[in-house]
Amino acid sequence: MGTFMQTPDLTVTGVEFRCVIVRTRSHRVLAIREANENRLPIVMIPSKTRPALALQHAMREKFGLDILVLDAWIGFPKSLAAVELLTQKPHSSFTEIALHELSDSELSHEERRYVQLLCEGATKSPFARLGWIEEAVDWFEFSTRSKVSSQSSIEQWNAGGGFALLRMRSSNGRCYWLKATGEPNTHEFRVTHTLCEAHPEFFPKLVAVKSEWNAWLVEDAGDPLSDPPSFVELLSAAIRLANLQVLTVNETGNLLAAGAWDQRLPVLKSHIGKILTYLIEAMARQTSTRAVPMSQHRLHELGEILFQACDRLEAVSVPDTLIHNDLNPGNILSDGENLVFTDWSEAGVGNPFLSCERLCQLNRVHAEGVRSVYREYWSRQLSPRSMEEVLVLTPLIAIYAYLYGRGDWLGMTERVQPEIEGYRRTLARQMDQAARNPSLLEVLCH
């Protein structure tokens, strides 16, 4: 059984969930009696939303229940969510039964067995068990020296697979976030802890860590930037990130040891051949007619341009720094006075101008303002001519670095996922477009 790791997008209107609602101590299940059978309640959540948060809202709106999602699975004909009941007195339309009183038409053998393990506390994830939220509240109250306003006020933004993301409000009105990560993002705990200890002013305030959960607690740091960011917002983000990157020039070893992705130029360059081989095979598997597959000849040309661009950028000798590979308005927070960065599961070490290019992509109208910030911050390291070369080279390499990611997917042999492969073909076409930029070709010819 697989937990949801991504927002489901299975239908046009939404996703239907059967809900196994379990009482914490008795382990009895809430069911609806229909035609002399016990039925699981069903809710519909919108597609392209956070499933845990949407399930909380749907259960409260439809049944008046406060719940916590313990785990969930996407499937047909209906998806399944195992949830813990936080409301003491459910609506009278429910009857309470033992798990075995549900028929096989309501729960498969595999689903029933997993829910039983969940009730017994025998699952691998610390969050896929009844009663963990009480431990979380105790930890929260001890760490913040304040009371949770109420369990029903806890917003659950992510669940399943060893992941957790909760927004908790204290009785004094302050908000906090509890976050935990499972595979393949367990390193985010170490990276976040390392960064917050070294440069706390650039991140939400770290309140406490719980290593056995791979979890940490931070103060709420404000709202995400506008989408797209305004000129003032984008320049503020560029100034803050460039400043942070300059400070991490001598800390890359610690960041790599904590689990940051290695996206230094020699590493990127050494994998060009493997990525080309993959793209050639991916183009051959294309079935869509919306775009013409790139030819092997053009892909080999693209590979040569990438080699040259990496060589040229290496020759400029820009120091490697911290980079954020998931820069989007939601990961840049502002309280009106201070601006901080969050969500470091895709933290890396590499050329700082890769982040410059990603900031530019957030609002192309203000891209030149972002570049001006980076010119100022790196003017002591680079001559004006070298600076302009770097700014010309990085759009292509930034797309390639994004495609490479952490690089682990290159060795995977499982069945190819069509939607992921289609996205990688799209990135290849974007690289092709960037590689045709006359300014880039001019730099490579000199």
Domain layout of the chain by residue ranges:
15-120, 132-219, 223-445
Domain range 132-219, CATH architecture: 2-Layer Sandwich (3.30)
Return the closest-CA partner of residue 204 out of 190, 186, 192: 192
Would 15-120 and 132-219 be classified into the same CATH topology? no
Tokens for 167? 């927004």
Tokens for 357? 């290019």
Q: Compute CA 60 distance to the chain's CA centroid, rounded to the nearest angstrom.
A: 26
Could you tell me the pTM of the whole model?
0.91
Partner residues linked to 32 by β-bridges: 39, 94
Query: Buried (b) or exposed (e) across 129-144, using 16+ Cβ within 10 A?
Result: bbebbeebbebbeeeb
Q: pLDDT 10s per residue in the chain (446 long)? A: 444 333 333 333 588 999 999 999 999 999 999 888 999 999 999 988 899 999 999 999 999 999 999 999 887 667 999 999 998 777 678 999 999 999 999 999 999 999 999 999 999 999 999 999 999 999 999 999 999 988 888 999 999 989 999 999 999 999 999 999 999 999 999 999 999 999 999 999 999 999 999 999 999 999 999 999 999 999 999 999 999 999 999 999 999 999 999 999 999 999 999 999 999 999 999 998 899 999 999 999 999 999 999 999 999 999 999 999 999 999 999 999 999 999 999 999 999 999 999 999 999 999 999 999 999 999 999 999 999 999 999 999 999 999 999 999 988 766 578 889 999 999 999 999 999 999 999 999 98
Neighbours of 48 (CB within 10 A): 10
Return the closest-CA partner of residue 160 out of 47, 61, 74: 74
Dihedral angle sign, alpha carbons of residues 103, 107, 112, 116: negative
- Cβ burial, residue 235 (10 Å; 0-12/13-18/19+): middle
**Look-up: residue for tokens 């001006």?**
372
Single-letter code of the amino acid located at 106: E
DSSP letter for each residue of 119-170? HHT-SSSTTSSTTHHHHHHHHHHHHHTS-BS-GGG-EEEEEETTEEEEEEEB
**Look-up: residue for tokens 């820069």?**
327
Please name the fold of domain 15-120. Answer: Nucleoside Triphosphate Pyrophosphohydrolase (3.90.79)
Enumerate helices (H) and strands (E) in the chain, giving the number of each. 14, 18
Q: Compute CA 198 distance to the chain's CA centroid, rounded to the nearest angstrom.
A: 23
Neighbours of 108 (CB within 10 A): 13
Q: Is the peptide bond before 126 cis (omega within 30 degrees of 0)?
A: no
Q: How far apart are CA 4 and CA 184, in angstroms?
A: 13
Predicted pLDDT at 76: 61
Q: How far apart are CA 123 and CA 84, in angstroms?
A: 15
Query: Buried (b) or exposed (e) across 391-407, using 16+ Cβ within 10 A?
Result: bbbbbbbbbbbbbbebb
Return the closest-CA partner of residue 79 out of 147, 141, 24, 10: 10
Q: How far apart are CA 206 and CA 14, in angstroms?
A: 36
Quote the CATH superfamily of domain 223-445: Aminoglycoside phosphotransferase (APH), C-terminal lobe (3.90.1200.10)
Predicted pLDDT at 4: 39
The region, left, alpha or beta by phi > 0 then psi within -120 to 50, assigned to residue 37 is beta
Q: How far apart are CA 180 and CA 288, in angstroms?
A: 38
Q: How far apart are CA 32 and CA 214, in angstroms?
A: 37
3-class DSSP state for residue 252?
A: helix
Q: How far apart are CA 55 and CA 45, in angstroms?
A: 7
Q: How far apart are CA 386 and CA 401, in angstroms?
A: 21
Predicted pLDDT at 151: 83
End-to-end CA distance of the chain: 56
**Look-up: residue for tokens 């996922």?**
417
